[in-house]
Amino acid sequence: MSTRIEIDRLQKVRDIFHKNQYVLDDRFVIRDGKYHKCAIICPGGGYQLVCSFVEGVPFARALNKKGISAFIVYYRVRDKALYPNPQDDLARAVQEIISRKEEYMVDMEDYSVWGSSAGGHLAASFGTTKMGYPHYGLPKPSAIILAYPVITLEEEKTHLGTRENLLGKKASEEKALAYSIQTNVDQNYPRTFVWCGDADEAVPPENTKKLAAALKAQGIAYEAHIYPGVPHGVGTAKGLSAEGWIDQAVEFWMKDGQ
């Protein structure tokens, strides 16, 4: 089985040299004079980089083909990634979109938040009471969509760079658990679609399993997939068993409503 990771090469250069600051990329808003649902995308990168070239731009293009407007969030990383900076940046993005929803012509009554890898931790944290939409007084997303996300920050089960950039190198296990997603899922958590590959050596599949178990325990509607032979960081997963996951995720988002 061949792997064709879909990337935007020009965007890769932009990502590498991007200033370490909040930016809302609105290039993928559909501007046809009609209202559209919208997806807010948090690319991964271990809270070290925002990898829009593989987990931002390709996703946005795929969503545009489905008539969905997309925003890509550049959040603070590296030496500026300590909690709550990335969470503040995602909240700022949602606030900005709401304030400009008439200009963008987007339906903020039915929006979704997408995240991959460390961006998956960020997107998933937006669903929690402590770190997310209730904390910032923002409307609840209709769905959270996660690709091979970092869920737990426990040292033996997480992506260590993600944990260290967000919490610091000397963070205790108690603190790590306090900012893990599975320990913060409650009855107000949004409906969630989550997937990973069983060949993921960067973020153990246990992360996806932990989130699924927490969602099930709280009675939250969810869909979880672990695709065979799929490694980490594959984006749209063309040529792999996970190919088509964006279609599945959009179908999950659109069915049954909030």
How much is the pLDDT for 10?
79
Cβ atoms < 10 Å from Cβ of 104? 21
Q: Where are the alpha helices (DSSP H) in the chain?
A: 9-16, 52-55, 57-65, 85-99, 101-104, 118-125, 160-167, 173-178, 206-218, 245-254
How much is the pLDDT for 256?
62
Walk across the sheet containing 23-28 and list its strands.
23-28, 69-74, 36-42, 106-116, 143-147, 192-197, 222-227
Secondary-structure percent of the chain, ordered helix, strand, coil, rounded to 5: 35, 20, 50
How much is the pLDDT for 258?
43
Whether this model's pTM surpasses 0.85: yes
Residue type, 96: E
Residue 4 has φ and ψ, to the nearest 5°, of -120, 90
For 154, the 3-state DSSP assignment is: coil
* Rg, the chain, Cα only: 17
Instruction: Catalogue all structural domains in the chain, each as residue range(s) with its CATH number.
Output: 18-253 (3.40.50.1820)
Inter-CA distances, 235 with 33, 168, 198, Å: 30, 27, 15
Contact 139, 187 (CB under 8 A): no
How much is the pLDDT for 7?
74
Number of helices and strands in the chain (H, E):
10, 7
Contact 148, 208 (CB under 8 A): yes
Distance between CA atoms of 228 and 44, rounded to whole angstroms? 21
How much is the pLDDT for 1?
40
Contact 181, 235 (CB under 8 A): no
One pLDDT digit (tens) per residue for the chain, 258 residues: 445 578 777 788 788 878 899 999 999 999 999 999 999 999 999 999 999 999 999 999 999 999 999 999 999 999 999 999 999 999 999 999 999 999 999 999 999 999 999 999 999 999 999 999 999 999 999 999 999 999 999 998 999 999 999 999 999 999 999 999 999 999 999 999 999 999 999 999 999 999 999 999 999 999 999 999 999 999 999 999 999 999 999 999 998 644
